[in-house]
Amino acid sequence: MPTLDEYLGARVHVAEAGLELDLGDAFLTPLDELAPRMAAALDAMQALEAGAIANPDERRMVGHYWLRDPARAPDPALSAAITASWQAIDAFATGVRTGAIAAADGQPFRHVLLAGIGGSALGPQLLADALDATLYTLDNTDPQGIRDTLKKLPSLAHTLVLVISKSGGTAETRNAMLEVAAACRAQGLEFPRQAVAVTGEGSALDKLAHAEGWRATFPMWDWVGGRTSVLGPVGLLPAALLGLDWRGLLRGAAAMDAATRSPFATNPAARLAHAWHVLTGGRGARAMVMLPYADRLVLLSKYLQQLVMESLGKRHDRQGREVDQGLTVYGNKGSTDQHAYVQQLRDGLDNFFATFVRVLADTPSIEVEPGVTSGDCLDGFYQGTRAALAERRRPSVTITLDRLDAPALGAVIALFERTVGLYAELLDINAYHQPGVEAGKLAAKAVLELQRRLLAALGPAPKTLQELAAAAGSDAFAVWQVARRLAANGRIHGENLHDPQRARFAKHPT
């Protein structure tokens, strides 16, 4: 553990956000060599906030910082759009709470079901979990998962369904929406009467919602990426409907944004970005292990996996050079992980740095032994684990929150958003596009197109893989992957499904 003087020199405290960054056990080298690049990164961040184009290929700005301070938007129309969304969220949530917006039977809506994926689900899930609310979520196209979630709903008839998709064409979200609509029809309910869309203006989802007369629509803007959308309508609408302090989230984020515009010494995001660069060699050589010592923050590691890995996992830098960058994130919570992988962290591979999140204010609890509460034990485990790692020169970073409330959560989200942006500038990569994700979506579409060709090629007479591959215009391995799954689900007839060389497939006899 650091001495008091070492701690004071490695500490950045943001009083307005109730947050402290402690780098005392990160074992960092001075900024000296990185100083010019950090200065350029801070200038680039200032330009970004002023409306600089972040995605040249799409001619898009990146404006998630404006979401908590609309006056900073470079165009008054953007500022007005953000404040109008706040007013619409407030009015709609008030209508639901007062019963002015009610279910078909006149009873209040009591539950919220969200259909989304990626940032459109992870952000709202994090807010609900961290601030102690129940949000039902469909964030995949797994039919069993969809069925299980719908079974957990106390009453579908008294559930508002939020469908969140910028384009309206995201397959997982669209499928979940169709499944919920089908479940409503099965119960004699009119899906549009309890559906709300959060989407881009003019999108397929926006057109559907207006054509069917959904309860309401809220905006998603092309200058806000999914992984940084939680403090826009994507996260604020469900937060408001769940009765959370959504304006507190904005206050905390704005306070952190202000702190991260300061010079390096007092800038927590710049200090953290520098730490990432030193600890990973600027090449992602170490993973970041998230260890929040609070059960309500268990989803923080999942949230940061997307924010960090989708932003920093890039094959090319801005000059087109192949750099294969990234920063791996994993984690769960303390002290649970002390009984899982902390053994390896201390004594095994030296390929990580830990990021602890410590919450000072406890929920009141009994004394489990004289003078010691459950919360005392939890904090003792944090301090002990940090010390045990430091003893082996395993680096760690600690983020300490005065308490876990909406402003503190907003500050944490803003801190990592800004750190990601600054670190990407140090690496000269674009943190705001995701070509790898798009490549995966295109590949998935190709598989479904192959499935359509395969079904068209099947007849009553069984065919081998090679015969089907030739008829479908594909290779035998790809056909095998599709055909055996269809047969396993009874959608086609299959023989010898455990032996691709002997397998035969045909249409079911009519």
Q: Beta strand pairing status for 493-495 and 504-506?
A: antiparallel
Give the C-alpha separation, 139 to 62, whole Å. 25
> Active site residue: 151, 322, 339, 369, which one?
339
Mark whether 333 is an active-site residue.
Answer: no
Q: At what angle do helices 406-427 and 268-280 cross, to 10 degrees?
A: 50
Assign 368 to helix, strand or coil. strand
> Active site residue: 207, 210, 441, 445, which one?
441
For residue 191, give both structure tokens.
């899906």
For residue 311, give both structure tokens.
């932003």
Say if residue 241 is exposed, middle or buried (CB neighbours under 10 Å; 0-12, 13-18, 19+): buried
Mark whether 507 is an active-site residue.
Answer: no
- 3-class secondary structure for 276-318? HHHHHCCCCCCEEEEEECCHHHCCHHHHHHHHHHHHHCCCECC
Give the C-alpha separation, 374 to 216, whole Å. 45
Contact 426, 34 (CB under 8 A): yes
**Whose CA is closest to 384, among 432, 418, 345?**
345
Which residues neighbour 133 within 8 Å (Cβ) at sequence distance 6 or greater? Answer: 127, 239, 242, 243, 244
Mark whether 310 is an active-site residue.
Answer: yes
Say if residue 42 is exposed, middle or buried (CB neighbours under 10 Å; 0-12, 13-18, 19+): buried
DSSP state of 364: P
> Active site residue: 310, 314, 425, 463, which one?
310
Give the C-alpha separation, 158 to 164, whole Å. 19
| Active site positions, annotated | 310, 339, 441
